[in-house]
Amino acid sequence: MGKLELKNLTFQYPDAAAPVLENLNLTVEEGEFVCILGASGCGKSTLLSILEGLREPTSGSFLINGQEVIGPGPERGVVFQHYSLFPWMTAKQNVIFGIKQVRKDLKKKQLEELAQSYLEKVGLGADGNTMPAQLSGGMQQRVAIARALAMDADILLLDEPFGAVDTRNRRTLQKLVCDLHEIEKKTFLFVTHDVEEAILLADRIVFMTPGHIHQIVDVDIPKPRDYEQIRNDERFVSLRKMLIDLFYEKYADYTLDSMEAKL
């Protein structure tokens, strides 16, 4: 029994021509970092929304620790592509808001200390009183990560969280997530369409074609990984080529219109 399991999971929107997801089976072990990789429109984000509890499967099941799950729960923290911070709250207040959803027992001082400790973990210890509008995109995403971690969820779900930041900040955030995974030992599911990002972060990569899991790939490169150090490693180069070839091979018969028609 894994930490998280999908059993013949299928999802179809009402009146859609075909399922968005069909008979998915996957087991994720506790503490594992799994990247879900595929082109836009293949169903990655729909799958994550089911794992978040925002949608229910049409058939099949989703289990955590062997128990079927329906709806959101405190054992799952979520980081979205767009920063999803409350603009009228400071960075620290945004983190405190997340903590208060799961820790009703903490006093004001305890909440502030816990929020501050997680801001320090993401390198924003001096920015707790700053409003989101005064933070860069990368800094805002670090606040969102701090909030998800501070909620002490067993599972972290990240939906293309670095898609809206520039390349330099993306590399910084990737290293941050790598380091936090090693420290926190949480179970991570990370949605991306970036091959190099998936290789850099994942223990295993779940490659999706529209509606299906096509292949699950082990990333046999020791952690911690630094992009500049592994980019020329023959294992990185070989895996990158294999995954890019999969994109060309498995998406050759799909057009954007045919993929969107399933939604």
Residues 100 and 225 in one domain: no
Residues 59 and 160 in one domain: yes
Higher pLDDT: 130 or 258? It is 130
The arithmetic mean of pLDDT across residues 99-117, rounded, is: 89
pLDDT at 263: 43
pLDDT at 258: 46
pTM: 0.88
With 0-12 / 13-18 / 19 or more C-beta atoms within 10 angstroms meaning exposed / middle / buried, residue 114 is middle
In a domain, 235, yes or no: yes
- 209-220 burial: b if 16+ Cβ within 10 Å, else e: bbbbbeeebebe
Q: Please tell me which of 103-112, 127-136, 146-155, 253-262 the model is most confident about, judged by mean pLDDT.
A: 127-136
pLDDT over 70 for what percent of the chain? 95
Distance CA 111, CA 100 (A): 8
In which residue are the tokens 């990370």 written?
A: 190
Residues 148 and 242 in one domain: no
Residues 210 and 200 in one domain: yes
pLDDT over 90 for what percent of the chain? 54
Q: Residue 256 pLDDT > 70, yes or no?
A: no
pLDDT at 55: 92
Residues 192 and 104 in one domain: no
Q: In the chain, how many domains are there?
A: 2
Residues 247 and 186 in one domain: yes
Distance CA 140, CA 91 (A): 8
The arithmetic mean of pLDDT across residues 49-59, rounded, is: 92
**Domain residue limits at 145:** 87-153
Residue 51 belongs to what H/E stretch?
helix 44-52
